[in-house]
Amino acid sequence: MQVIVDKRKVVEDKKMAETVRVLLSEADVDKRIEELGRKISEDYAGKHVHLICILKGGVFFMCELAKRISIPVSMDFMCVSSYGDGTASSGVVRIAKDLDETIEGKDVLIVEDIIDSGRTLSYLIEVLKKRNPSSLQLCTLLDKPDRRVCDVKVDYVGFNIPDEFVVGYGLDYAQKYRNLPYIGVVEGVE
Ligand code: IMP
Ligand code: MG
């Protein structure tokens, strides 16, 4: 009995020690998304852009970005999971939820939270190309170029960041912190 109580105390202590250091403030992120929205509106002028949000991490970014795009927008959602240990992707990608609508003949812009090894997106881009979109581009809020294993052409990048595990603005650590309105680094975890 005593042992169980002690173990619980250790877990609680670790939780208390977990903090998030701000890497990019809410104002930094908002400003950059505004710039991206303007650039996308210019680049796609006269067209209709079909945004594909990669769930779950891309959802906060896509909502904010879509609000700042001044040309016609439609949206769809896809959920992909890569079998990994939570902080590193394994390269094996599974489509957990596919798109609701066809992308054939559409100007598709994939909206992703972060490109790390590039494995998820290089796989996804190949899958989506086969569905004959009129064009296919990629927009990511964050990019960790130092971590790249697979070559991925990123058309729009919010911020290049160093090789640190980040949370907030849709990004999670063990499903936590997605709702933070800024990007931070979790500290105090093993
Ligand atoms: P990739 O296949 O290695 O490029 O991994 C991409 C996915 O891993 C992202 O869409 C995220 O879901 C997750 N990921 C990679 N780096 C981080 C991070 O620093 N914080 C949270 N999730 C991350
Ligand atoms: Mg993601």
Distance 123 CA to ligand 1 centre (A): 14
**Which residue's CA is the nearest one to ligand 1's atom 9?**
114
Whether 83 shows a pLDDT value over 80: the answer reads no
Whether 8 shows a pLDDT value over 90: the answer reads no
Q: Which residue has the higher pLDDT, 82 or 95?
A: 95
Instruction: Give this prediction's pTM.
Output: 0.89
Query: Which pLDDT does position 153 carry in this prediction?
Result: 96
Mutate to test the pocket of ligand 1, among 114, 123, 186 (most ligand atoms within 8 A of CB): 114
Query: CB under 8 Å to 56, separation ≥6 — which residues?
Result: 79, 170, 172, 178
To the nearest whole number, what is the mean pLDDT of the chain? Answer: 90
Name which of 12-16, 51-55, 68-72 the model is least confident about: 12-16
Return d(Cα 125, Cα 107) in angstroms, integer: 14
CA-wise closest residue to 101 among 128, 119, 137, 123: 128
- Identify whether the C-beta of residue 158 lies closer than 8 Å to the C-beta of residue 140: yes
Return d(Cα 81, Cα 18) in angstroms, integer: 26
Active site residue 76: no
Q: Concatenate the DSSP letters of all residues of 137-173 into one string.
A: EEEEEEE-GGG--S----SEEEEE--S--EEBTTB-B
How large is the average pLDDT for residues 15-27? 89
Whether 128 shows a pLDDT value over 50: the answer reads yes
